[in-house]
Structure 1
Amino acid sequence: MRILFSGRPAYGHLYPLLPLAVAARDAGHQVTLATGAAFVPRLTALGFATHEVGISVGEAETEATRRHPDGAVIDVMLTMFADILPRRTLADLEPLLAAERPDLVIYEMSDVGAAGAARRAGIPAVSVTIGRSLPVDIRTHAAAGFEWIWNGDVPDEPMLGDACLDTWPPGLADPNTGSVPHRFPLRPVPWSPPAPPWRSPGSPLVYLTLGTVVFGATEVFRAALDGLAQLPVRVVVAVGPGDPAALGPLPDRMEVWRFVPQDQVLRHADLVVHHGGSGTTLGAAAHGLPQLVLPQGADQFANAEALTTQGSGLALLGDDVQPDVVAACARTLLGEPVHRATAQVLRDQIAAMPSPTDVLPTLEAFATA
């Protein structure tokens, strides 16, 4: 089978596709990747046939803000994800699909232009959940904006389309994926670039990150660090594209990295303090770890709510992110067994989901149906 994977050139958008792409390649399928310029060399170095398609989220945000200098956040976001990004993806992908004629297109849910290009080419397409679906009120508001992508026949979930690979376990389920006609569970498997083995600095260990988008929230980082400094724990901090020096001086038992092999760190962690990005949320859940979520935007608030409702985490919003409050929450999550026990329920649910290799026969059947 010939499979084309398409994703925006960003860590949290593209990397969730790679475990499935690797599994498909290892199973003998012909795999092609399509993404923006910044990630083409990285994927080529991994041995994938990779094509430059579309532009970055940052470029789209610049253009959308230019169009709506005083507009509401929702108008800027819809302009980005229902207009600028999909138009560029569709324009670049249409000739590639015509030339390669894949049997299946797999796209991360924000790259909906790939679904539009696949529909025009008569090729089945499957989305991969990399976050939460649109809330009902926003989806209603946005429906008209997605019509051109879907040639007027907009699915109930305009970003998930007619089929999706759903990476959310039952305990954190996105209630809206149930309306997708073809929903295939897929175990969220971590992926990061090859790295040397990571050595834990000791325990108890807290892993702190704000991901690769809101990494510039230095005040949030400092509040979390000052709070964790009150506890007898070691802390590993990942600042992503941020500057480690911006955090200022830290105790010896705290170490700061730009990037870490997150899955290796999570194997040794006792608590994860983070922004609520889906990759970190699911990664921590897969290891049965309690989580303290400090959401900053997008669907991070929905992820925080899902974790607190399920019982394996706590969340702090806005002005509540203060050192003493962080310390109190971290002390609770480290000390009370109920949160860890509930987190281990999520771990077991994720372990029971089909792996990328397991789901390939289902995708083959869908592509040929």
Structure 2
Amino acid sequence: MADESGFAEPSSERIDHLKKIIGRAYDSVEWSSLDLVPAEDSVADVFKWRGDQATVPYFRVSHRGRRYTSPEMGLGEFSIHFLFWILEQYADQADLTLLLDEPDAFLPPRGVRSLLASLQDFCLRNKWTLVLSTHSEEMIDAAIEHEAFVLLRVDDRGVTEIVDTATAPEVAAEVLPGLPMDRVLFVEDEVAAIVLSAAIRAVDARLLSQVEIVWGNGQGYMRELLKRLPRRPAPRIRFGFVFDGDQRAVPLDTGAGWPVAYLPTDREPDDVLRSVKSELLEHAASFGTTPKQMSVFFDTIEGENSHDWVIKVGDRYERRRVLPTLAAIWADGHGEECRALVEELS
């Protein structure tokens, strides 16, 4: 039947997509459309595509001198040929919505990103909208990177919640495993560690699993480590030194050459936290008080320097909760500075 119907070779571009996704350097690829009519009308309707006649695809490929056809293909290989054969049936039609349910289900991991890129390319060229469901870490990671990921989940009441990374980037940390820890970052003190952690979380919460943040009592120990900590080529664990912003103008002895960065702004971290005190009033209820009572307390410590101000706010409203809240408020309002720091650390 295939010989009677005839074989056609897909475009060279389509063959390139197949090769990348499936991972096989085909010698040849041929597709045929067979006029087969399933016995059940409901099944036949599914295979009518854009016409009145049910049509079933049949594939023939050659790889490393061996020719084989659809029934001999693995499910992953066959599903990709089938998917792109279907797309070809509608290639001349614009403004369609393509809905795909786990198209990567039978593919090896390395083919997943190529599949997504090929689908995006096809849909962009044809002005289609692409929506797909997936459990693939590769595909989710790529979607998160481009703020195109949407998480659907059912809450305790049975209501479906919709969360997208464009408005809630932290959702990435919920659905993807943490990255392996491969770097240690030294900072001056606890407040610096809190600010650095908030800045990283604001950009990509998963990156925190890569990092161990170590803090001490001021920048003196960091300067000694920076001079003396040896560095070998291609270290498995990398070290970095993140000084407070007010240390930018102070000369450094970089010793073994470990990288140095600075927290955002040219101020010390205590000043950074204090700068968003008015916005903390909106969170007063979570600290067991009211905005008015919190505002009155702030008035009583107005004359304190920033270091003592942070200590007293921490003592009053539970340090391990209120200081990260202040840092998160600041980071949320200073996305560009946070991204610049994370890029520098990367």
**Into which bin does the TM-score normalised by the smaller protein fall?**
under 0.3
RCO higher in structure (CA 8 A, sep ≥6): 1
The higher radius of gyration belongs to 2
